[in-house]
Amino acid sequence: MTTQSIGKSSYADYSHIERLPDPERVNDLEQFDGVMDFASSLRAYFGDRADVLISGEGYLCHEASGSTAGWLVPDCVVTFGIDARAITARNGYVISEVGKPPDFILEVGSRSTGRRDYTVKRDGYAGYGVREYWRFDHTGGDYHDAAIAGDALVGGEYEPIEIIEEVDGMKWGHSPILGMDLCWLDGALRIRNPQTGEFLPTPVEWGSRFDSLESERDAADAGRLAAESERDAADAGRLAAEAEVELLRAELRRLQQE
């Protein structure tokens, strides 16, 4: 996986960080599943690494001074080699403080923000120096200019990342930053590990796997208990046989003494 570690936040005591204001939000349920599944899958994959930020819905800006006009609010931000806790405590991403722009940004299309994602925000993220910018539209292109699209920053401008369409309708492109394939599949955004060809599990799939593991464990416990019962029965039979043999020997000794 290609990552870059340019700088770290200088914060040490998070309790004294002044939080950025909360952005004004327009609630849009169409975005929720795509953003949450994407972020949750990545968080599970990268584990508890403190140098990886996977977050979103806070302000992104160069400097935290003056008006918030012109600041952008990404759906999901991914950055490597930084102090993720400091950015979370700041309630936003201030590039001058972090020491580098985000490595990756994802926007999920919606009726209210779709056109802005592939026009205003695309230009804005290029100006911020975001290395990769991806867009996902569950409708297949009603809200965005494509079902799934990615751009890589080259010479200060975005160049499209190749998107491949399979015969089954799946569309996908490779993210060098994440080292993963991003796939539009039946209206869902999936992350595929190109080394294994498998999708990273979503929260629902993690729950199913947990239930399956619980069932397997219960079955193993039942088998173990059954084996223990058989062993106990065998031990009881052996002890009974040994006791009977000892009684016969005692009877034989008595007869020999008469």
pLDDT at 212: 45
Joined together, the tokens standing for residue 1 give 């996986």
pLDDT < 50 stretches in the chain: 1-9, 209-213, 215
Tell me the pTM. 0.76
DSSP string, 206-252: HHHHHHHHHHHHHHHHHHHHHHHHHHHHHHHHHHHHHHHHHHHHHHH
- Over the Cα atoms of the chain, what is R_g? 30
Calculate ∠ Cα 222-223-228, nearest 5°. 95
pLDDT at 256: 62
pLDDT at 210: 46
Q: Where are the alpha helices (DSSP H) in the chain?
A: 29-46, 84-90, 95-98, 114-117, 120-128, 203-257
- In degrees and rounded to multiples of 5, residue 192 shows phi and psi of -115, 130
Q: Where are the alpha helices (DSSP H) in 99-202?
A: 114-117, 120-128
Nearest to 79 by CA among 129, 122, 15, 36: 129
pLDDT at 86: 92
Residues 6+ apart with CB under 8 A from 43: 54
- Domains detected in the chain: 14-200 (3.90.1570)
pLDDT at 12: 57
pLDDT at 217: 58
Q: Which residue has the tokens 């002890």?
A: 239
Residues 6+ apart with CB under 8 A from 9: 82, 83, 86, 87, 97, 98, 99
Task: Give the C-alpha separation, 227 to 234, whole Å.
Answer: 10
pLDDT at 66: 82
pLDDT at 234: 67
